[in-house]
Amino acid sequence: MTAMLEVRDLVKRFGPFTAVDGISFEVQRGEVLGFLGPNGAGKSTTMKMITGFLGPSAGTVTVNQFDALANPIMAKTRIGYLPEGAPAYPDMTPASFLEFIASVRGLKGRQRRQRIAEVTERIDIGRVMQQPIETLSKGFKRRVGLAQALLHDPEILILDEPTDGLDPNQKFQVRELIHELAPEKAIIISTHILEEVSAVCSRALIIARGRIVADGTPGELMGRSRFHNAVVLELKGDNKPDFETLRADLVRVPGVASVEPDGERRVVVFPEGSATVTDGVSQLAAARGWQIGAFYVDPGRMDEVFRSITQGN
């Protein structure tokens, strides 16, 4: 299977500053690739180069086997792009704005009306179609930007922070939308909301200082967390032991490497390597007659992975 979008050794320098420093990846149909990284890591700059707004200092972008730098128009017809901040002409209404985009995209007649109606309905902006865009709330502006990116039903969708400024319900809707679109398209989203990566992405790239520092499925990235496979335990009741007693007991369970407090009420039991300690811990709990408030295996913590990858080392 050939990639819908292929990026090779992309570099962007702004004077002495290297914003993007040799990024390479591929996106296949059906994939939702998440760009994750601190502000200024080069996520947006990479997107701007893929969509042809910025010219790379070095490297190539291949859209459906076409060199996007040599055939920019061809590449642009296949891409739907929501730029950072969802810019739109402020004095236009969403209706006239979408008409404009449809016209640029070469949609005509019945097909144009159909696509506009479909996208309006799907993104739920019907209520504001006749209001100037400058008077819209941040959430509606973002959705108008999304509608614009989806209008021509592109094979490749590039969304720079699609849920920024949306309330939790709207965020949920947008994630649902991405899920629905995913099987037919190659999608890249950037975000700094970590749970969004697990919620919508099939693969995530963590970008820091212009480089890809981690590449994997959300599960694989979570697997890098030191909390991965650890057992989290919360005890309740009047006769629950204090932390030191608890720790002394738990470290004797076979396979347990260490025990740490997790917030005020919980403790985390870290296993040695890939050992499973659930059975040992639950048997101990039963033997001691502890009243269990919570007991679960931690899948890993994205924020901790993110911090350790982007800050440390």
Interface contacts to other proteins, rule CB under 8 A? 13-15, 48, 51-55, 57, 72-73, 76-77, 79, 81, 83-85, 87-92, 96, 100-101, 103-106, 148
For 7, phi then psi, to 5°, come to -120, 130
Strands of the sheet containing 203-208, edge to edge, are: 79-82, 156-160, 186-191, 32-36, 203-208, 211-216
CB distance 176 to 164 below 8 Å: no
Cα 217 from Cα 152, distance rounded (Å): 29
By C-beta, is 88 or 267 nearer to other proteins? 88
Nearer to other proteins, 54 or 297 (CB): 54
Q: How far is the CB of 23 from other proteins (least distance, A)?
A: 17
Q: Are 177 and 274 contacting, i.e. CB atoms less than 8 angstroms apart?
A: no
- For other proteins, which is the closer residue by CB, 90 or 293? 90
Closest distance of CB 86 from other proteins, Å: 9
> For residue 165, what are the contacts with CB-CB under 8 A and spacing of at least 6?
138, 139, 141, 142
Helix segments in 182-259, DSSP class H = 194-200, 218-223, 243-250
According to DSSP, the residues that pair with 277 across neighbouring strands are: none
Smallest distance from other proteins to CB 136, Å? 14
Based on CB atoms, which residue is closest to other proteins, 17 or 313?
17
Query: What are the two backbone dihedrals, phi and then psi, of residue 227, each rounded to the nearest 5 degrees?
Result: -80, -10
Complex with other proteins: residue 78 or 301, whichever CB lies closer: 78
Closest separation between CB of residue 58 and other proteins, Å? 11
Which residue number, 14 or 243, has a Cβ lying nearer to other proteins? Answer: 14
Query: Alpha carbon of 247 to those of 83, 230, 243, 279: distances in Å?
Result: 51, 14, 6, 17
Q: Which is nearer to other proteins, 49 or 177 (CB)?
A: 49
Roughly what angle, to the nearest 10 degrees, separates helices 94-104 and 138-150? Answer: 20
- DSSP result, 18-55: EEEEEEEEEE-TT-EEEEE--TTSSHHHHHHHHTTSS-
What is the smallest separation between the CB atom of 162 and other proteins, expressed in angstroms?
A: 15
Minimum CB separation from other proteins for residue 88, in Å?
Answer: 7
CB of 87: closest distance to other proteins in angstroms?
A: 4
